[in-house]
Amino acid sequence: MKIRFGLLAVKNPIEKMFEVASQSGISHIEIDLIKDHSYVESFGLKRIAKIKNLAKKFDISISLHIPYTINPSDRIPMIRKANVEYLKKCILLAHNLKATHITTHLGYCNGLPSWDWMRKQALDRLVLSLEEILPLCKKYDVILAFENVNPMPKDSEFFYLGDNMRDLDYLYGRIKTPFFKLCLDTGHANTNEGPMRYLRKFRDKIVAIHVHDNKGKYDEHLAIGEGNIDWKNFSKELKRIKFYGPYISEVFSRTPKETREDFEKYSR
């Protein structure tokens, strides 16, 4: 089966990206909802119909990426509720666009990462939010894929949820539904336990992979081969589990086409 490779539409409206993607051998576009041209409210019925027609014309699938500022684990109930309502609107949009999935970060919290009780409380608040959100995913047949993230510095008074495999284990232990999956971010994983460990442990949950490299300490979004990820063995494992994508480029220094070609070198 042919590998599906994708690009992240951030700077330009998605309507401008279909022809570019097609000419570059790209078969998937992830829409980042963080710019004014891609805010959820910008997708009216006419725009949705146009995007669906373009996706069909160019045979390109679509997914959504929730802004990283969204925090369904916020400790203030009113703010947490607003985040949940926003996510519900994104689920409906994904349904209307016939998106393959939604990718989202899990949230964040103030407090020392070493304070396990604070992380546990934040995770439990997140579970409550997900228990409200995921029935809507089932109703509209939309997969919610959370993205593993990179850790903040150890002395930071701020931490991300999902910055380690324990968080993922905890959430998958609490939530049992086929609509709660994983978007594996290779670069983020490389600053943690390593992409191979994520791949082997959560292979049945992965619906998409964000592709970029780093040297293991910082989230640098380097080109494939410029960091220390073992892409050859990573690609072998992907072949073994028969995962064909989408692989979505998050390399800043090269075009999605160049990143696709770099990735394919290791996949031969």
Is residue 36 within 8 A of residue 46, CB to CB? The reply is: no
pLDDT value of position 153 = 82
Is residue 49 within 8 A of residue 86, CB to CB? The reply is: no
Domains and CATH numbers, the chain: 5-267 (3.20.20.150)
Shortest CA distance to 140 belongs to which of 176, 105, 101? 101
Distance CA 208, CA 244 (A): 9
Distance CA 46, CA 54 (A): 12
Tens place of pLDDT for every residue, the chain, 268 residues? Answer: 788 999 999 999 999 999 999 999 999 999 999 999 999 999 999 999 999 999 999 999 999 999 999 999 999 999 999 999 999 999 999 999 999 999 999 999 987 666 788 999 999 999 999 999 999 999 999 999 999 999 988 788 889 999 999 999 999 999 999 999 999 999 999 999 999 999 999 999 999 999 999 999 999 999 999 999 999 999 999 999 999 999 999 999 999 999 999 999 887 7
pLDDT value of position 154 = 79
Q: Say what angle helices 116-140 and 77-97 make with each other, to 10 degrees.
A: 30
